[in-house]
Amino acid sequence: MKPLIGITMNLDIQQTRSLNMLDQDYGKAVQQAGGVPIPILGLKESIPDLVKQLDGFVFSGGDDIHPRFYKEKPLPKSGITLSPDGRTLFELALFKAAYRAKKPILAICGGEQLVNVAFNGTLYQDIAKQVPAPIKHSASRTKEKVFHPVGIIDGTLLSRITGASSMRVRSSHHQSVKDLGQGLQISALSLDWVIEALEPVKHNSFLIAVQWHPEKTLNDLHTKKLFKAFIDASKK
């Protein structure tokens, strides 16, 4: 049986309806690695059943977590585009329930930031304003694709999975991890010392959070290894 992989979705709250939306590339990455992608509606009452029925979870990217979730106020002119609190509250609850149940978790971009906040960490609200001498992490014009190298920390789970000391990644974010959450360790850094990947110090289950977008580089060898390791963990 192929493992069932839940994938969180964006939330768009409109005047007469609320919509969940998801980039299909997340599903393609899961399917390519041997899993069955299951988009997750953000309904908090469904969390116990989701954790019971699904074999693994992908926490997808999206807009910015409100700084109140890490005890800060929005910085002036920081370019924040806030995600609805409803999505953040749902995903924090889902993440904590899935992690307690030792379900394999792969968190991507905004998903990495969510994981750090869940472990009581904080975020840089705007890399360009808060990080000294930053490299380019996001597109400045339509259809631009941004890539940059990251260094992988030796001895981490990410290092063992990829078998590499560095890799080239697709990047699209203006926020990143600032103060590391409790019980987490860094597993990758960019050239400007932005934290590009996290994992627990003690691995009770599979949990890797990356700041880049591996679902956008489906033919990359390291991407394939990362998703395969996640899917393999979800089969157990």
Which residue, chain included where needed, has tokens 């768009």?
12
Reported as a single tens digit per residue, the pLDDT across 1-26 is 999 999 999 999 999 999 999 999 99
Reported as a single tens digit per residue, the pLDDT across 28-48 is 999 999 999 999 999 999 999
pTM for this predicted structure: 0.96
* Of 63, 51, 61, 43, residue with least CA distance to 6: 51
Residue 78 has pLDDT above 90, yes or no: no
Please provide the average confidence, as pLDDT, over all residues in the chain.
96
Structural domains of the chain sorted by starting position, each given as residue range(s) with its CATH number in brackets: 4-234 (3.40.50.880)
* Of 19, 82, 94, 21, residue with least CA distance to 58: 94
Residue 193 has pLDDT above 90, yes or no: yes
Give Cβ neighbours of residue 222 (< 8 Å, ≥ 6 apart): 162, 164, 167, 214
Reported as a single tens digit per residue, the pLDDT across 94-117 is 999 999 999 999 999 999 999 999
* Of 126, 117, 66, 125, residue with least CA distance to 95: 117
**Residue 206's pLDDT is what?**
98
79 falls in which pLDDT band (50, 70, 90)?
confident
For residue 15, give both structure tokens: 């005047």
**Residues annotated as part of the active site:** 109, 213, 215
Question: Do the beta carbons of residue 202 and residue 119 sit within 8 Å?
Answer: no
The average pLDDT across 60-79 equals 93
**Residue 114's pLDDT is what?**
98
